[in-house]
Chain A
Amino acid sequence: MARLNVNPTRMELTNMKGKLKTAKKGHKLLKDKRDELMRQFIELVRENKELRRQVEKGIAEANAHMAVARSVMSDEALNVALMLPMQEMSLEITEKNVMSVMIPVFETKFKTADANDIYSYGYAFTSSDLDDAVKALSDIMPLMLRLAEVEKSCQLMAAEIEKTRRRVNALEHVMIPQYEETIKYIRMKLDENDRSTTTRLMKVKDMMLEDAHHYSEKQ
């Protein structure tokens, strides 16, 4: 494996050890973050799928009513009936922090006091199927908003999980092995230096003793 290009000194060794410790700690924390995010994400996705099924069913129903209304009423009458909506819906968004992912929380606001104030027409010239269609849509609306909330959260969390996963992998498979390798390299270099110093000293000592006592000549 690639080792970092550093000078094999005691100073660098201490540095590397510190970095390795930090990397390991970071790795553990990120791994925990990933696991928790994943757990919440899976829960959210399940809810997302369920909501989607319900919403799609509800809209199909509303569309069916609408189609009938459309066939019974003239286009003009329909346009006139729906031209000026009574109700206006708006949202307040607050954010919720889930493992450092900001997910939106919606709060619905209506313009008129009564949320059921949805029929923007007198009943004289419209088909009752239009009422059904509008009612069906209004019934499904809270679910649709919850769906929007959950689906957006899923998308945001998916992006965050992907990022975290990459970081965890980078630490686990690149950074940490790299540091370990470098530490090993510096240690071996330092040991080697020690040994070479020892042998040099022994040799020098031998030579000095030889100078002083002339052992080789006496034999």
Chain B
Amino acid sequence: MFKIAAMGDKSSIYGFASIGLEIYPIEDPQVAIHQLRSMVDGGYAVIFITEELATQIESELDRYRELPTPAIIPIPGIQGNTGLGMRNVSKSVEQAVGSDILSDA
């Protein structure tokens, strides 16, 4: 049984609580890194994280890319879309192919 979590600033993730996700209102990157580390072995399958927070701890997130769980998925927060999510997809393509052949303008 795996859990789903949402992490980020409070106003962006508050709604997720009502549909049954565990929410972690965190804005400080250091605290977020700490929290993530304890969550990795804590039976979380998916962690949604706001893009604002994700950009600040990108190198930490890269460490979990190749682990089977958890899937850490950046989502746009209340401040809007920063394009980090799409950039992450392009990163996968680049890693696999050598250059981003699927980028569309």
Contact = CB atoms under 8 A, between A and B. Distances in A.
Interface of A: 38, 41-42, 45-46, 48-49, 52, 55-56, 59-60, 62-63, 66-67, 70, 78, 82, 85-93, 95, 102, 104, 106, 109-111, 118-120, 133-134, 137-138, 141, 144-145, 147-149, 151-152, 154-159, 161-162, 165
A109 B1 CA distance: 9
B71 to A, nearest CB: 4
Nearest to A67: B78
A85 B71 contact: no
B4 A91 contact: yes
A148 B85 contact: no
Contacts of B2: 90-93
Given A91-B45, A106-B45, A148-B73, A48 B89 contact: yes
Contact of B65 (A95, A111, A138, A155): A155
Contact of B19 (A93, A134, A151, A162): A134
B65 A90 contact: no
B19 A89 contact: yes
Contacts of B69: 93, 104
Contact of B18 (A104, A118, A155): A118
Contacts of B102: 42, 45-46, 49
Given A60-B76, A155-B65, A138 B86 contact: no
Contacts of B92: 45, 154-155, 157-158
A92 B32 CA distance: 25
Given A56-B81, A87-B19, A104 B3 contact: no
Contacts of B76: 56, 59-60, 63
Interface residues of B, number: 39
A162 B95 contact: yes
Interface in B35-72: 45-46, 48, 65-66, 68-69, 71
Given A45-B93, A46-B102, A111 B73 contact: no
A90 B71 contact: no
30 contacts: A48-B89, A56-B81, A59-B75, A60-B76, A63-B77, A78-B14, A82-B15, A82-B17, A85-B18, A87-B20, A89-B20, A90-B4, A91-B4, A95-B68, A104-B71, A109-B1, A110-B20, A118-B20, A120-B17, A133-B15, A141-B19, A147-B73, A148-B46, A148-B48, A157-B96, A158-B95, A158-B96, A159-B65, A162-B96, A165-B96
Given A90-B1, A93-B69, A156-B68, 17 more contacts: A45-B93, A46-B102, A52-B85, A60-B76, A60-B81, A86-B18, A89-B4, A89-B19, A90-B2, A92-B1, A104-B45, A104-B68, A106-B45, A119-B18, A144-B73, A151-B88, A158-B95
B97 interface: yes
